[in-house]
Amino acid sequence: MTRQKILITGASSGLGEGMARAFAAKGRDLALCARRLDRLDELKTELLERHPGITVAVAALDVNDHDQVSKVFAELSDELGGIDCVVVNAGIGKGYPLGGGKLWANKATIETNLVAALVQIETAMEMFRAAGTGHLVLVSSVLGNVGVPGHKAAYSASKAGLTSLGESLRAEYPSGPIRITVLEPGYIESEMTAKAGNPILMVDNETGVRAMVEAIEKEKGRSVVPGWPWWPLVEVMKLLPPRLTKRLA
């Protein structure tokens, strides 16, 4: 099934922006939201110039403003005449070693990547249940498969929680009518990974986004992206003793 009307959160940069460009090139109509409305307006102009046959709706949204999530999703749905697919992508990578005196950084990561994601999931599922169909995509991380010490402890925990929510929904809807996809990106070039320095096995944004969009279009249940080299690495990561996982940070 081709989902024509796609909503993406965190669409003003990084993987969200990349997915918006990729879906626009496929002729999909887009509902894009993020905190930085000026960036979204620029992206909308670019996409409509390149692909004049599509519809692009944008809205400012801080996913931590929980009351606004349902309101913005509804407004964007009205603009597009419905939403077929919601990509829960908004996230941050703040963090500090646990007990290091920066609770605010770890708390912000858990709240944005997991609690706010739950709000988006609840909102999307309500929309899809009312429509009788839909596709929910959760952008997790390969680091959700293993505990990572130091400044990525809260991040990996938040992504483990998000993956677990997705797996619970996959168990609830094993054959539709609502489809669930859990994406586990490896290190893909973006603003977030740029702030983290130069992690091992980084792939460029275009390569990573292409793999993500392909998995979304195929409505895979759970997908490590890009598959090579990250799929076999994820299996190895699950077996690593805790003292070795620090190399992933």
Phi/psi at 55 (5° precision)? -115, 135
Q: What CATH number should be reported for the domain holding residue 186?
A: 3.40.50.720
Residue 98 has pLDDT above 60, yes or no: yes
Q: What is the pLDDT of residue 36?
A: 96
**Cα(165)–Cα(234) distance, rounded to whole angstroms?**
19
What percentage of the chain reaches a pLDDT higher than 70? 94
| Mean pLDDT across 116-142 | 97
| Mean pLDDT across 33-46 | 97
Render pLDDT for 173-220 as a digit per residue (tens, 0 to 9): 998 899 999 999 998 987 666 555 556 678 888 999 999 999 999 999
**Cα(13)–Cα(40) distance, rounded to whole angstroms?**
9
Strand partners, 188: 203
Nearest of 123, 122, 129, 133 to residue 4 by alpha carbon: 133
Q: Is residue 173 flagged as an active site residue?
A: no
Tell me the residue range of the domain where 174 lies. 5-248
Q: What is the pLDDT of residue 190?
A: 74
Question: Into how many domains does the chain fold?
Answer: 1
**Cα(136)–Cα(115) distance, rounded to whole angstroms?**
16
Q: Of 96, 155, 173, 187, which one is the catalytic site residue?
A: 155
Q: What is the pLDDT of residue 11?
A: 97
Q: What is the pLDDT of residue 149?
A: 86
Nearest of 41, 42, 47 to residue 19 by alpha carbon: 47
Local confidence band at 249 (pLDDT 50, 70, 90 cut-offs): low
Q: What is the pLDDT of residue 201?
A: 76
From residue 169, how far is each of 117, 125, 177 by CA, in Å? 14, 10, 12
Local confidence band at 8 (pLDDT 50, 70, 90 cut-offs): very high
